[in-house]
Amino acid sequence: MNINEPPIIEPFAPIEKQQEPTPEGDGPPDRPSPDTPSPRRPARLPRCRPVRRHRRRIAAAVLLALMIPTGWSYAGYITAPGAAPTDVRSIEWLRDHGLESPVALAEQWWYTRARPSGTTAPVSNLVRSQPVSVGATLGTGRRVSPAETIPVAESIPVVAGTPQAGEGVWQSVEGLASNGGVDQTFIRPDPTYPAVAVNLVRFDQRRISLVYAPGTAEPKGTNWAWNSQIPVSQRTHADAAFNAGFKFKDTAGGVYTEGRSAVRPLEDGLASVVIRSDGTADIVKWSRDATIGPDISTVRQNLELIVDSGQPIAGLSSSTGGRWGSRQSQLQFTSRSGLGIDAHGRLLYAAGAQMSLSELAAALSDAGAVRAMQLDIHKQMVSFSWYRQDLSSSTGVQATKLFESMRRDATRYLSPDQRDFFTVIAR
C-alpha cells in the first residue's frame, strides 16, 4: 500500500431495525415488502346493463304498439251500444277474432259433460203456476166471459215417469193485455233424462199479433222503427217478448223487415218466421210454404225446420251437412228455445235449460206443432219476459221471467238490445 494515498474507508451497511414482535392481535398487521408484487384483480367484463335495458325498452314499446289495436278492438266490443253482459261481449270478441275453434271446443267440453241428473226437473227451471178461472178479474180490470174463453186442448201426455205438479196441463196466463188466449205448461219429453223440462207458451193469434224488432248489432242496419227496444208507447199493449235466432254469421239465412233485406237475400229451404201485414205469424220452410209478397212484412230465417208434418225431423242428432249447425252443438245439454205453429194457427214458444236439440223438437211435436224451428241457444241468449201494466214502475210495466233460472234480466227488451227479438202485442 502506498503510504501517500489516503486510506479507503468501507462504508457501513445500513443496519435494519428489527421489529419487535408484538402480541397477537395488537398493532398493525404485517405489511408486504415493497418488492413483493401485489395480487392482481381479475379484469372486469364490459358493462352490458345499459344495452340490455335499451333492448327491453324497445321490446316493451313494440309489445305495447301491438296491444293498442287489440285493446282498442276489445274496448269497442265492451262499449258497443245495446244491452249485453260483459262475458257475452268478450266471447263474441274472441269468436270474431280467430278464436272460434277454441271457444267451440270449450263449449263442447262443458255442455256435453254437464248432463242433467235426477228424476225430476228443478223448480227453478219450470214456469210459475198461475191458473185463472173463467169470470176472474184480470190485470186490466176487464172480465173474461165464457163466450170469450178460448177452448183449451187436452193435457199433453206425460212420458218421463211420474208427472210433476202441473206437468202437461195448459194453464191460462193472467194479467196480460190480451186478456185471454195465452196458456202455458211444461213437459219432460225424454224418459232417459227426466230432469229435462221444456216450458211451453201458446198464443191464440186472434188475441195477439207478433212484431219483429232488429237489435243494435243483429242484424246490421240503422234507423229501425223500434230502436231495438219495446217503445214506451207499446209497453202497456205488450204481453211478452222473446229472443230471435242465431247470429247471422252462424246461419245462411237472411232477414227481411221494414221493406228491406238487412243481411243477405232470403235462402230457399230454411226455416223462417213469417209475419204478415195483419200481424199473424207462421213457421214455414221458405219457398215451399211461403214466398215474398205484398202481404208479408217480416221474414226472419235461422237454420232448417226441426218439426215438419207434426213430427221431429230425422237426423237431428247427426246434423248431416250442418243443417242445424255443427254436429257437436246438437248433442250439447244447454239452454235452447224454439217456435212452432199448431194446426189451429196458434204460436208455440218453447224454452228450457240443459236440453238437446232432439228434446226441444220432441217437446214442440208433443205440444201439437205441425212445423217448428230452433231459435237461439245457450243461457246467455235464451230469454222470455212477461209484461203486466204497472203505472208505479219507471218502465210502465212489471216484467217477469218465464222461469226463474233464465239468466237475462226480465227488463232486457225495455232498453236497446244488441240482438233481435220478437214482441207479442195484444190486438
Tell me the per-residue pLDDT of 236-278, one tens digit each, with 9 for 90 and over: 999 999 999 999 999 999 999 999 999 999 999 999 999 999 9
Q: Cα–Cα distance between 371 and 32 in angstroms, integer?
A: 108
Question: 3-state DSSP call for residue 164?
Answer: coil
Q: Is the pLDDT of residue 46 over 60?
A: no
- 75 falls in which pLDDT band (50, 70, 90)? confident
- Of residues 189 and 103, more confidence is placed in 189
Q: Cα–Cα distance between 66 and 328 in angstroms, integer?
A: 35
Of 416, 422, 418, nearest in space to 385 by CA: 422
Quote the number of domains for the chain. Answer: 1
How far, in Å, are 137, 371, 375, 401 from residue 127 at the CA level? 22, 23, 19, 9
The pLDDT, as a whole number, for residue 176 is 97
Of 322, 327, 378, nearest in space to 355 by CA: 378
The pLDDT, as a whole number, for residue 368 is 97
Tell me the per-residue pLDDT of 341-372, one tens digit each, with 9 for 90 and over: 999 999 999 999 999 999 999 999 999 999 99
**Sequence-ordered list of residues with C-beta below 8 angstroms from that of 250, at least 6 positions apart, any chain:** 325
> Residue 194 domain-assigned?
yes
> Residue 120 domain-assigned?
yes
Find the domain containing 374 and state its range: 105-426
Q: DSSP readout, 175-189? A: S-TT-SSEEEEEE--
Q: DSSP readout, 14-38? A: PPPPPPPP--TTSSPPPPPPTTSPP
> Residue 386 domain-assigned?
yes
The pLDDT, as a whole number, for residue 275 is 98
Q: Which of 21-35, 42-56, 94-108, 159-173 has the highest mean pLDDT?
A: 159-173
The pLDDT, as a whole number, for residue 324 is 86
The pLDDT, as a whole number, for residue 366 is 97
- Of residues 423 and 129, more confidence is placed in 423
Q: Cα–Cα distance between 364 and 370 in angstroms, integer?
A: 9
- Residue 206 grid cell: 186472434
Of 159, 171, 176, 85, nearest in space to 126 by CA: 171
Tell me the per-residue pLDDT of 87-97, one tens digit each, with 9 for 90 and over: 777 877 777 77
Predicted structure pTM score: 0.77
> Residue 207 domain-assigned?
yes
> Residue 23 domain-assigned?
no
> Residue 76 domain-assigned?
no
> Residue 191 domain-assigned?
yes
**Sequence-ordered list of residues with C-beta below 8 angstroms from that of 278, at least 6 positions apart, any chain:** 209, 295
Of 398, 368, 416, 411, nearest in space to 152 by CA: 368
Tell me the per-residue pLDDT of 282-327, one tens digit each, with 9 for 90 and over: 999 999 999 999 999 999 999 999 999 999 999 898 767 778 876 6
The pLDDT, as a whole number, for residue 169 is 95
Q: Cα–Cα distance between 192 and 327 in angstroms, integer?
A: 21
Percent of the chain surpassing pLDDT 90? 59
Q: Cα Rg for the chain, rounded, in angstroms?
A: 40
> Residue 175 domain-assigned?
yes
